[in-house]
Structure 1
Amino acid sequence: CQKVRELRREVSNAYGVMVAVIHDIEKKPLTLVRRNKRGDVEWQCTPQGEVKVWSRRSISKGPFIAAITYAPAPGQYEVVAQHAFVLPILHKGRPLPVESDLERQAASSLIRLIEWAQRQRQQALSLDKPMYDLPVEDGQCRPDFLIHGPGGHAVVEVMGMLDDAEYRERKARTVPLMRQLGEVIEIAPDSHNNTLPAEQLKEMNRQVMRTVGARRANPRSAKARRSPPNRRGS
């Protein structure tokens, strides 16, 4: 991972880098915590130096992937945690980078859609999470998610900070650029509990399928193709 290599170069005397899934980042002192299935602390470390969290937005809930550099402690014969780079992810079994809990909700829904499309429609869809700005004709932009399929491409934007004037101004500038990458689908959280309503997630999935799914021919013929063979005639 490029970010791990950058972190490794920052600490010239590091003996090694450990990559691990952690569940919490506790403060005072800044401590990385890994928990077991019961929620008990399984392992923790307190880096001596800087801890960088990759996210354009504030995110407090885990899980995360942490890359931790280890180096000798001054005047001692043991190695200690020096610096760490922390990346929020969807969950341990699917380490997709996310930048907010809202993105976790959207990504989970999109992954279920991809699995459904493969199982029910035999259509292969894919999900990308851009880590850096993408070049387009009139500049560059970084969409939250890109979904690709046999029918085209879609951009999903999670509009999570609409009460921030600077955020709204930036989105007004970048969303038109994103349309060069695919159909833009915007979703926003419920203002009362800062979650994405279930009906809005369903509508997001419907719009994605209309945009990237293969164009179906005659519904009757498609249904016939999905029907199991008549064993009595075999």
Structure 2
Amino acid sequence: MTEVILHVYDVTNSGNDKTNNTILQINKIFKDGIGLGGIFHSAVQVYGEDEWSFGFCEHGTGVFSCPATKNPMYTYRETIKLGKTSFSIYKVNQILRELSREWPGQSYDLLSKNCNHFCDEFCERLGVQKLPGWVNRLAHAGDAAVEIAGNTAYRFRQAKSEIVSASKVACRYLAGVASSNSAVGPESPGNSGRGNPRFQGTWFKNLISTGAKPPASSEMEKRDEVVVKQAGLTFN
């Protein structure tokens, strides 16, 4: 058995000293101050003096190694022991070869497939505990925000579809009222209290937004348009 070690860095590779200092301050407040997390890079060391991580590249695998705690792109922060793996060095190398194929550099994504996600999967395959939650918490929060935004957009589209469907029903209802009024006559007592169908059509036109006109892609929709035109209701 051998120890599996996680090395954590502050992400200070922006190329701008002011930005790097800002990141250090964020990490100091959110991790050191209140324990929530920050903006970190991580790498896993198992067997030997190198650590393994994942990053973006245009061609080939994104899995790479460097001397432990010596990644020149970031600022080393701390080391965390994650437990011991029972796998041999041969098995660990086999796992790394598999991960190298499964994690191409072009698949890197800051929120959903970053270095911390790679280390999580590597540790899982080694049979040790995953990264502490604070290491990748901001990425998880950002990914959740994207998912929420996506769900919101989907629900908006769904609601819009339901509004269009409701407008079709309303069209048929108003057209039916108009046809009934035409049959009874404008001065008939049976017409009292219903209002003028053309006024109702104008009111409904103002109620729905421009562009909410039901698409005439089916025979039912085409028949609806004919009935609406006959009733004097327009939605242009």
User: Which TM-score band applies after superposition, normalised by the shorter structure?
Assistant: under 0.3
Whose helix fraction is larger, Structure 1's or Structure 2's? Answer: 2
Give the TM-score normalised by structure 1. 0.20
Give the TM-score normalised by structure 2. 0.20
Whose strand fraction is larger, Structure 1's or Structure 2's? Answer: 1
Higher alpha-carbon Rg: 2
Higher relative contact order (CA 8 A, sep 6+): 2
